[in-house]
A and B are shown apart, each in its own frame.
Chain A
Amino acid sequence: MEFFRIKKDIPFMKHALVFNAISFITFALAVFFLFSRGLHLSVEFTGGTVLEVAYSQPAELAKVRSAVSALGYADDVQVQNFGTARDVMIRLPVQKGVTSAQQSEQVMGALKAADPGVTLRRTEFVGPQVGEELVHGGLMALAMVIVGIVIYLAFRFEWKFGVAAIIANLHDVVIILGFFAFFQWEFSLAVLAAVLAVLGYSVNESVVIFDRIREAFRRYRKMTTHEVIDHAITSTMSRTIITHASTEAMVLSMLFFGGPSLHYFALALTIGILFGIYSSVFVAAAIAMWLGVKREDLVKSTRKEGDPNDPNAGATV
């Protein structure tokens, strides 16, 4: 079997401008939603208490909500189904002077009074100072990933590639965040991990193509930069699609079988992988081209390291 029967290199770079325009529009939309709607941060970031309770019959959310509101919480109590109709998730804000234990006991007491069949599945309380640290830690991790990858790619290839790869993949990250903002999906620590994993994973994708570009520069002396990039993308096409489909299969299996705990994690990965293909193939290479990658950039720098194909390697006079 062979899915990809491509006769000629596909002239991707002819349409680079179009791809970049598409990227820019999605990017702008994502940023717009991030600012207009904001992320629906989980309790890990905001601080507060989360209770997950299970009923023996499908729960009536309105009743649950009124039972909780009656305890004196204002409108910022969130009650929603979680996974199945019988599981309910309740989010309470941090209250001054009341410990989380008292909070969860009060709520459980009120719910038990309304329906004795309710059981506590999970509670989670996070103090406000932890949330701040998490935001800080997350940003630090992001910064380290960016710096680390740019340095590594600059060392292995050329700075232009490092910059191109990071821009392309940060645009993925922003788009994932945009999705989370638009649909108001809950942004938790697990999702943050997924986002950073996507960053590493799709840079990986760009690296495969850059690797081909370097090789093509060395092997086909007469090709222009345009053609070299087209050739690199075309020849890795089959591998790109198959790999991503495989990883996506894994992620979809998490989405379908992983239950509610892994739902948003898998969702972030799904979006990340889909956009990862697009951005690393079309955007990263295009940016590298705009930045003006030349044959000399790559061929010279590798000569210094000792080209394994160089017949004169090791020979000294």
Chain B
Amino acid sequence: MNRYPVWKYAILVIALLVGVLYTLPNFFGEAPAVQVSSAKATIKVDAAVLQRVEEALKAAGVKADFVSLDGTSVRARFDTPDNQLKAKDAIQKALVPDAQDPSYIVALNLISRSPTWLTALHAQPMYLGLDLRGGVHFMLQVDMQAALTKKAESYAGDLRSALRDKNIRHGGISRDGQSIDIRVRDEATRTATVNLITDQFPDLQTTVTPDGAEFKLRASIKPEATRRVQEQALKQNITTLHNRINELGVAEPVIQQQGLDRIVVQLPGVQDTAKAKDILGRTATLEVRLVDEGTEARAAEAGQGPVPFGSERYLDRNSLPVIVKKQVILTGENLTDAQPGFDGQTQEPTVNLTLDAKGARIFRDVTRENVNKRMAIILFEKGKGEVVTAPVIRTEIAGGRVQISGRMTTMEANDTALLLRAGSLAAPMEIIEEFTIGPSLGADNIERGINSVVWGMLAIAAFMCVYYMLFGVFSSIALGVNVLMLLAVLSMLQATLTLPGIAAMALAIGVAIDSNVLINERIREELREGASPQMAIHTGYERAWATILDSNVTTLIAGLALLAFGSGPVRGFAVVHCLGILTSMFSAVFFSRGLVNLWYGGKKKLKSLSIGQIWKPEGNGKAVAKPE
């Protein structure tokens, strides 16, 4: 009766093998590496970059363990920090000729030393949380109300020009909070306005209130559109943050959305919080200026003669000089959106800009006076300006909708739009949580965490072996398997291991041993009541199982509640806690039974079990009352 069919053993062996395989990468430690990622939104890291890195390494005579393209970065691993530094210099020289204006970021990093065949199986070490590796963590709250106000402002401008296009005479448009008030004088205008809004502005809803002889129309953003605006704002802010953080040259930044209006930024290895915060919180750096078209400026543009007074020289993306006036017409603050698109008539790729009401007014005046002249849109990155585009003004542009077209590929249009958007945040953000952990503290935390798990486990295993003899040995092995499975599952899920997570692991071991104690005590009890050894194993496991299930489910309920409502460290604890309970059911019951069956199952004339002393009370107390 105590025999497992072959398939059960097969499951155990497979689970064990998979467990070992996925736990392995955690033991190899980390090797020095160099990581190359893009420094600009327009530059992509692809196979060509990979090749250039390989060539640079070959030219410098540095041998890498491997060079691979991993998502948006190229990584090369080296055997010694010495080679890593040499390689970094070589790659830097090859890819970044101008240190003032880098296209790529070459950063030092650590990557797992595990062999490539393990990596090919997607067996990767657990990701260590900031409290274990050191670094900076920020939680930013996006001011959604401001995003909505900005959106309403741009709708107000759009409405104004749409009404003018249709020759609908209104008595004034104004933005009030996040809605737009339009005054109309008569019934006919009211209907026309409402129709226009329903036709052209599907994201707005209107309510009408009579105001004396006139009507007051109030247009507000629909709830679903509000949600969309918020999502876009969050997404744009995340993109902008990405671009800015690239500047820090952090190897593996984490930029994640949390909840509906929060962004978490984690920068492992960064210690300089002040600089990080400065870069995260930087304000918009996009400027629109007129191109200086005087003869002197023309000469300066061609490189003959000085830049005229009142103008400045910037390079465009093809490194051609453009002389622009110092006077700033508009800044990124007036730009509400920039999207790639197509011209309705010529089918040429375009970039469509949307300006807010103030920007639209200024832009109309400037364009009216400067038809057939050029304007330049300049993006300031790291205090250095670059002309993104310098189109010719064809006509007066009113209404705040600007279309830039001509000699652009779709790709270029996309990039330009991205660059224009990158200059500004969709909505202001505020840091609401921040912590920095020094690297030495991180290392201490790992060591302490591991020490406490190891010593606790050794103490328990020693006790179990002495108290329950062979069954104690089985229990200890099962305990070890539990830790193995837990590590494997965490590695497979690529969960972030934090100090509370290690604490949960320690607690999981404590809970797992409970199952084994329950089983062993039950078997002893059965033996005490006179059951045969084989029978005792069978009923012991069977009876204990019901109890184990009940008790683990209650513990799991607590774990799930923590997972659902906890945040930060509590979550890290809860994930490991819940997984630990699940793996403990596998190891303590299924696996340990497998061991017992393997050892005792085949023995037909089994006289005794090695489960420690079975003490029987002499008197016939109630503890041994026979069942009826």
Give chain A nearest CB distance to B283 CB in angstroms. Answer: 15
* B554 contacts A253, C-beta separation under 8 Å: no
Q: Which residues of A contact B271 (CB under 8 A)?
A: 120
Is B558's CB under 8 angstroms from A203's CB?
yes
Kindly report which residue of chain B lies nearest to residue A204, judged by CB atoms. Answer: B551
Known: A2-B615, A193-B573, A249-B459. A141 touches B566 (CB 8 A): yes
The reply to whether A130 and B433 contact each other, CB–CB distance below 8 Å, is: yes
Residues 553-569 of chain B: 1 if any A CB is under 8 Å from the residue's CB, otherwise 0?
11111111110111111
Contacts of A137 in B (CB 8 A): 565-567
B606 at the interface (CB under 8 A from A): no
Contact A101 B274 (CB under 8 A): yes
Q: Check A261 against B555 for contact (C-beta < 8 Å).
A: no
**Which residue, B448, B467, B560, B577, has most C-beta atoms of chain A within 10 A?**
B448
Please tell me which one of the listed residues A126, A129, A192, A223 contacts residue B570 in the complex, with CB atoms under 8 A apart.
Answer: A192
Closest to A134 in B: B567
Q: How far is the CA of A245 from the CA of B141 in the complex (A)?
A: 45
Give A89 Cβ to nearest chain B Cβ, in Å.
12
Contacts of B93-137 to chain A: CB distance below 8 A: 131
* In contact, A254 and B506 (Cβ under 8 angstroms): yes
B561–A148 touching, CB < 8 Å: yes
Choose among A8, A142, A207 the residue that contacts B554 (Cβ–Cβ < 8 A).
Answer: A207
Contact residues of A between 105 and 130, Cβ < 8 Å to B: 105, 119-127, 129-130
**With A123-B434, A204-B514, A204-B552 in contact, do A251 and B506 touch (Cβ < 8 Å)?**
yes
Chain B hits for A211, CB < 8 A: 546-547, 550
Verify if A221 is at the interface (C-beta below 8 Å from B): yes
Q: Which of A122, A215, A254 has the most CB of B within 10 A?
A: A254
For B562, the chain A residues whose CB sits under 8 A away are: 141, 193, 196-197
List which A206-263 residues lie within 8 A (CB) of chain B: 207-208, 211, 215, 219-223, 227, 231, 234-236, 238-239, 242-243, 245-254, 256-259, 261-262
Question: Which segment, of A13-21, A33-41, A149-157, A289-297, faces chain B?
Answer: A149-157
Give the residue of A122, A156, A189, A261 whose beta carbon is less than 8 angstroms from that of B568: A189
Nearest Cβ in chain B — how far from A91, in angstroms?
A: 13
Say yes or no for B431: interface residue by CB 8 A criterion: yes
B554 x A122 contact (CB < 8 A): no
User: Is B84 in the interface zone, CB < 8 Å from A?
Assistant: no
> Are A5 and B615 in contact, CB atoms less than 8 angstroms apart?
yes
Q: Binary interface profile of A, 131-151, with partner B (CB < 8 Å = 1, else 0)?
A: 001100110111011001100
Task: Identify the closest chain A residue to B448 (Cβ).
Answer: A259
B residues less than 8 Å from A249 (CB atoms) = 456, 459-460, 463, 510
B514 touches A246 (CB 8 A): yes
B441 interface neighbour in A122, A130, A201, A227, Cβ under 8 Å: A122
Give the complex CA separation of A207 and B464 in angstroms: 23
Known contacts A125-B433, A190-B569, A208-B551; decide if A247 and B574 are in contact (CB<8 Å).
no
A93 to chain B, nearest CB (A): 16
- Asked if A234 contacts B623 (CB within 8 A), the reply is yes
- What is the minimal beta-carbon distance from B401 to any residue of chain A, in angstroms? 37
Known: A8-B619, A249-B459, A253-B459. A124 touches B434 (CB 8 A): yes
Task: Compute how far the CA of A245 lies from the CA of B564 in the bound complex, rounded to whole angstroms.
Answer: 30
Is B573 within 8 A of A105, CB to CB?
Answer: no
How many angstroms from the CA of A104 to the CA of B559 in the assembled complex? 35
Q: Does B489 contact A (CB under 8 A)?
A: no
How far, in whole Å, are A253 and B534 apart by their CA atoms in the complex? 37
B525 touches A235 (CB 8 A): yes
The answer to whether A219 touches B627, judged by C-beta atoms less than 8 angstroms apart, is yes
Contacts of A126 in B (CB 8 A): 432-434
Q: Are B612 and A208 in contact (CB under 8 A)?
A: no
A269 proximal to B (CB < 8 A): yes
Contact pick for A253, options B274, B452, B466, B560, CB 8 Å? B452
**B320 located at the interface, meaning its Cβ lies under 8 Å from any Cβ of chain A in the complex:** no
Closest residue of chain A to B613 (Cβ to Cβ) is A2
The answer on a CB contact under 8 Å between A253 and B506 is yes
Is A1 in the interface zone, CB < 8 Å from B?
A: yes
The answer to whether the Cβ of B436 comes within 8 Å of any Cβ in the partner chain is: yes
Closest chain A residue, CB of each to CB of B622: A9
Are B438 and A120 touching (Cβ within 8 A)? Answer: yes
B246: min CB distance to chain A, Å: 21
B509 close to chain A: CB less than 8 A: yes
Q: In the complex, what residues of A have CB within 8 A of residue B569's CB?
A: 189-190, 193
A99, A235, A246, A269: the one within 8 Å of B513 (CB): A246
B511 adjacent to A247 (CB under 8 Å): yes
Chain B residue, CB-CB nearest to A7: B617
B466 touches which of A1, A8, A119, A153 (Cβ 8 Å): A1
Interface flag for B393 (CB, 8 Å)? no
Closest to B551 in A: A204
Most A CB contacts (10 A, CB to CB) among B459, B570, B612 go to B570
Interface centre among B452, B614, B628 (most CB of A within 10 A): B452
Chain A nearest CB from B262 CB (Å) reads 10
Partner of B499, one of A8, A196, A222, A261: A261
CB atoms of B558 and A250 under 8 A apart? no
Tell me which residues from 493 to 521 in chain B have a Cβ below 8 Å from any Cβ of chain A.
499-500, 503-504, 506-507, 509-511, 513-514, 517-518, 521
**Which residues from B are CB-within-8-Å of A192?**
570
A259 to B443, CA, bound (A): 12
Query: What residues on A are CB-neighbors of B546 within 8 Å?
Result: 211
Q: What is the interface of chain B mostly: helix, strand, loop, or mixed? A: helix
In the bound complex, residues from chain A placing their C-beta under 8 Å from that of B141 are 127, 129
Chain B's closest residue to A200 (CB) is: B558
Contact: B451 with A239, CB < 8 Å?
no
Residue in contact with B460 in the complex, picked from A104, A205, A250, A257, CB distance below 8 Å = A250
Most buried by B among A44, A235, A259: A259
Cβ-defined contact, A148 with B557, below 8 A: yes
Whether A257 contacts B277 in the complex (CB less than 8 A), given A1-B612, A144-B561, comes out as no
A6 on interface, CB distance cutoff 8 Å: yes
- Quote the shortest CB–CB distance from A156 to chain B (angstroms): 6
Give A236 Cβ to nearest chain B Cβ, in Å.
8
| Nearest Cβ on chain B to A171's Cβ, whole angstroms | 16
Which residues of chain A come closer than 8 Å to B467, judged between CB atoms? Answer: 1, 3, 242
> In this complex, what residue of B is CB-closest to A239?
B521
B561 near A196 with CB under 8 A, answer: yes
Query: CB distance B554 to A153 under 8 Å?
Result: yes
- How close is B578's CB to chain A, nearest CB, in angstroms? 10
Most A C-beta atoms less than 10 A away, residue of B525, B558, B573: B558
Query: By the criterion CB–CB under 8 Å, are B551 and A261 in contact?
Result: no
B455 interface residue (CB < 8 Å to A): yes
Contact A199–B565 (Cβ < 8 Å): no
Check: A45 CB closer than 8 A to any chain B CB.
Answer: no
Alpha-carbon gap, A134 to B433, bound state (A): 12
A100 beta carbon closer than 8 Å to chain B: yes
Q: How far is the CA of A297 from the CA of B405 in the complex (A)?
A: 81
Q: How far is the CA of A144 from the CA of B622 in the complex (A)?
A: 40
B345 within 8 A of partner (CB): no
6 closest A-B pairs by beta carbon, nearest first, are A200-B558, A247-B510, A253-B456, A127-B432, A250-B456, A204-B551
5 A-B contact pairs sorted by A residue (CB < 8 Å)? A1-B612, A2-B614, A197-B558, A199-B558, A236-B521
Binding site for B on A (CB under 8 A): 1-3, 5-9, 44, 52, 99-101, 104-105, 119-127, 129-130, 133-134, 137-138, 140-142, 144-145, 148-149, 152-153, 156, 189-190, 192-193, 196-197, 199-201, 203-205, 207-208, 211, 215, 219-223, 227, 231, 234-236, 238-239, 242-243, 245-254, 256-259, 261-262, 265-266, 269
Give residues in B with beta carbon < 8 Å to A. Answer: 131, 139, 141, 271, 273-274, 277, 430-438, 440-441, 444-445, 448-449, 451-453, 455-457, 459-460, 463-464, 466-467, 499-500, 503-504, 506-507, 509-511, 513-514, 517-518, 521, 524-525, 543, 546-547, 550-562, 564-570, 573-574, 577, 612-615, 617-619, 621-623, 625, 627-628
Inter-chain pairs besides A101-B277, A250-B457, A265-B500, 17 sampled, C-beta below 8 Å: A6-B617, A7-B617, A121-B437, A121-B441, A126-B434, A152-B557, A190-B573, A193-B562, A201-B511, A201-B558, A204-B551, A204-B552, A208-B550, A235-B525, A243-B517, A245-B463, A261-B445
